[in-house]
Structure 1
Amino acid sequence: MIKPERLCKGDRVAIVSLSSGILGEKEILHKYELGKKRLEEKFGLEVVTMENALKGVDYIYNHPEKRAEDLMNAFKDKSIKGIICAIGGEDTIRLLPYIDYDVIRNNPKIFMGFSDTTANHLMMYKAGLVSYYGPALICDFANYVDMYDYTENAVRKMLFDAEETYEIKKCDYWTNEFISWCEENMNKAKKHLIDEKGYEVLQGHGKAAGKLLGGCLDAMPMYIGTDIWPSLEEWKDKILFLETSEEKPSPDLIRYYLRNLGAQGILGAIRGIICGKPQGEVYYEEYKEQYKMVLKEYGREDMIVIYNANFGHSEPIGIIPFGIECEIDADNKTIKLLERVVE
């Protein structure tokens, strides 16, 4: 896997709308401005907003080719060092016919986002580029009052400092509060709850290591069978990371999705699983039971499963890098990246 170069103060980063076009809606433009300001003032980056990113929901929906054009142009532009998604959505899959994997492979740079952006990460994976399942502009960089320190630290340590190894520590707080996105709420802070659970080990003992591959579990059915879905051989010996969206899929659906991974042979091929905290801790205990049930059905009661990690849809979030060697330790309840994630 190709690692892109680390970010430095003064670098240019592109903003893209690859699924939902909400960034360009009048009532959300203040979030765009706030996120842009944070990237500029906190991280010293120069923000480049791609041509179609602010054209609104209807235009973005009706023109998947223009969304893909923005992505390809961001990769082609030698002056751009990173690409940050505005937000996820449910429509990234329609970009597939317009993606040039050679362009991605020959112009490696940081790409980051989560949720339906899983599809884009699988595109990067197919092209052989390490990418970063992490904060998006609207949700995280433009969080009202300030960015979460947990999220900011992950961006700095992984993408700027390029540390040789990195322990993904558990965040000791979380929130289940949603503050409506409107300018009147810009000074409202979310209430934090203490996370007393820490990482939970659902099963397994000792350590397991492998390269990271995964994403948003309830978005994956859209990608299975397409040319970006990894082959069974590509899943071999991986550490699978999974989280669930704001749709809060029922425990039954989680069971169905996991059984599909079992039927494909993926659960038999991987070395371990990292599970994200469900948003708002809805179905927190119920999801645990589904994981244990399905893994038992497929004879994988031996596999290490670490639960309640901070990535994806539960705030605050960190970064999980696709294609990077990771060690999960059930006895010590740790998640460690065994190599730097950028050059």
Structure 2
Amino acid sequence: MFVKATVWKKGDTIGIVSPAGPIKREELERGIKIVESLGLRVKLGKHVFDKYGYLAGKDTDRAADLNDMFKDNEVKGIICSRGGYGSGRIVELLDYEVIKQKPKVLLGYSDITYLHTAIRQRTGLITFHGPMVASDMGESDFAKLSYDLLQQFFIPQDVIYTTAISPLEAIVHGKATGALVGGNLSLLTSTLGTPDEIDTKGKLLLLEDVAEPPYKIDSMLNQLKHAGKLEQAEGILIGDFTDCDAKDPETSLSFDQVLVDYLTDLEKPVLKGFRIGHCNPNITVPLGTEATMDTKTKTLHVSAGVRA
């Protein structure tokens, strides 16, 4: 059974943490202005600006910041500063009992996929795949649609994705319903064989990634296939695969050819073209709540992820 966090109100305090890669201060400061423009206050994690090589500080410190934000009664929601790498290193250091007792909105994507998966499967908490403070909100061209969809944290509302947002293409036709799960393909693949291995049985699987050539996408889809994750899903949603075209098309399959090879024989709906992931706009969707995809109408209907 999945658990919804309560809605935000104007004046609420939102925690900002860096559970993965290090950030630039100026980008975070620009993103904080976006958060504050929603009528929210901001509380920074103690180690939000730390740097330890390609990580935003030591594992224990990054985990402590996330644990502290869940423990803190003043904090009503948590937004990650950016992705990068490192979330998988801290999943065994999180206090899942506290997360169960104090469910809060957790927003992020990319490397945060590992946290979404671990937290949902260990606690039942619905989390949110969407823009982050430094890497998205901190950009000068942060899309108005991305901004507007943050309102779903203030009023429980379904997310209805249609071709009015972006063109959608059916790879396999059909209609399916199930809890929406998934996120970054690389991170989902990295959960296989771990205690947090992605559970796709009876669910709608969302996939997105960035800067991965077709042969690597092929390898990861192959691994998911042999692990049964594609077959067990009720339907598959293809989000944004930014900069994933072959550098030399004459010596490579195309990204679309790879999708056809792995997805057309599944006999379940596959819909491509969602502006979800490393893109602008980057549409926020709750992970863990019930959703329905329909290739005939080219729509995705995701139930509200928060409660009043």
The residue number in structure 1 matching 2:258 is 290
The residue number in structure 2 matching 1:256 is 219
1:238 pairs, out of 187, 203, 216, with: 203
2:105 pairs, out of 86, 98, 110, with: 110
Counterparts of residues 62-101 of structure 1 (less than 5 Å)? 63-101=58-96
| 3-state SS in 1 of match to 2:42 | strand
CA contact (8 A) 2:91 2:115 kept: no
The residue number in structure 2 matching 1:340 is 304
Aligned length: 300
The residue number in structure 2 matching 1:199 is 168
Amino acid at match of 1:293: D
CA contact (8 A) 2:168 2:273 kept: yes
Structure 2 vs 1, CA of residues 105 and 204 (structure 1 numbering), >3 Å: closer, same or farther? same
Task: Provide the alpha-carbon RMSD of the alignment.
Answer: 2.0
The residue number in structure 1 matching 2:46 is 51
1:321 pairs, out of 286, 293, 307, with: 286
Structure 2 vs 1, CA of residues 136 and 170 (structure 1 numbering), >3 Å: closer, same or farther? farther
Structure 2 vs 1, CA of residues 224 and 49 (structure 1 numbering), >3 Å: closer, same or farther? same
Q: How big is each residue's C-alpha offset from its partner over 1:283-317, in whole Å with a ceiling of 9 and x where there is no partner?
A: 59922221221135xx41x2111111011112210
The residue number in structure 2 matching 1:310 is 275
CA contact (8 A) 2:159 2:285 kept: no
Counterparts of residues 92-241 of structure 1 (less than 5 Å)? 92-126=87-121, 127-144=123-140, 147-156=142-151, 158-163=152-157, 165-170=158-163, 172=165, 198-205=167-174, 207-230=175-198, 234-241=199-206
CA contact (8 A) 2:182 2:188 kept: no
Q: How big is each residue's C-alpha offset from its partner over 1:26-70, in whole Å with a ceiling of 9 and x where there is no partner?
A: xx22212111111112x0000000101012344955511100000
The residue number in structure 1 matching 2:32 is 36
Instruction: Report the CA distance between 1:104 and its aligned residue.
Output: 1.0
Structure 2 vs 1, CA of residues 312 and 218 (structure 1 numbering), >3 Å: closer, same or farther? same
Task: Find the aligned partners of 1:279 and 1:315 in 2 and give their Cα distance.
Answer: 10
Task: Find the aligned partners of 2:242 and 2:301 in 1 and give their Cα distance.
Answer: 23
CA contact (8 A) 1:202 1:288 kept: no
Task: Find the aligned partners of 1:9 and 1:82 in 2 and give their Cα distance.
Answer: 12
Amino acid at match of 2:161: I
CA contact (8 A) 2:170 2:270 kept: yes
| 3-state SS in 1 of match to 2:181 | strand
Q: Does 1:2 align with 2:6?
A: no
Instruction: Report the CA distance between 1:263 and its aligned residue.
Output: 1.0
Instruction: Report the CA distance between 1:170 and its aligned residue.
Output: 4.4
The residue number in structure 1 matching 2:20 is 19
CA contact (8 A) 2:51 2:57 kept: no
| 3-state SS in 2 of match to 1:37 | helix
Amino acid at match of 1:264: A
Task: Find the aligned partners of 1:70 and 1:280 in 2 and give their Cα distance.
Answer: 32
Amino acid at match of 1:305: V
Q: How big is each residue's C-alpha offset from its partner over 1:258-299, in whole Å with a ceiling of 9 and x where there is no partner?
A: 121111111121110110122157359922221221135xx4
Task: Find the aligned partners of 1:333 and 1:89 in 2 and give their Cα distance.
Answer: 32
Task: Find the aligned partners of 1:241 and 1:249 in 2 and give their Cα distance.
Answer: 17
CA contact (8 A) 2:17 2:44 kept: yes
Amino acid at match of 1:161: I
Amino acid at match of 1:340: A
The TM-score normalised by the length of structure 2 is 0.91
CA contact (8 A) 1:280 1:314 kept: no
Task: Find the aligned partners of 2:21 and 2:25 in 1 and give their Cα distance.
Answer: 14
Task: Find the aligned partners of 1:270 and 1:58 in 2 and give their Cα distance.
Answer: 37
Bigger shift: residues 212-221 or 11-20:
212-221
Instruction: Report the CA distance between 1:255 and its aligned residue.
Output: 1.6
The TM-score normalised by the length of structure 1 is 0.82
| 3-state SS in 2 of match to 1:32 | helix
Listed as ranges, the gaps of 5+ residues in structure 2 are none
CA contact (8 A) 1:101 1:123 kept: no
Q: Which has the higher helix share?
A: 1
| 3-state SS in 2 of match to 1:262 | helix
Listed as ranges, the gaps of 5+ residues in structure 1 are 23-27, 173-194
Structure 2 vs 1, CA of residues 258 and 320 (structure 1 numbering), >3 Å: closer, same or farther? same
The residue number in structure 2 matching 1:180 is none
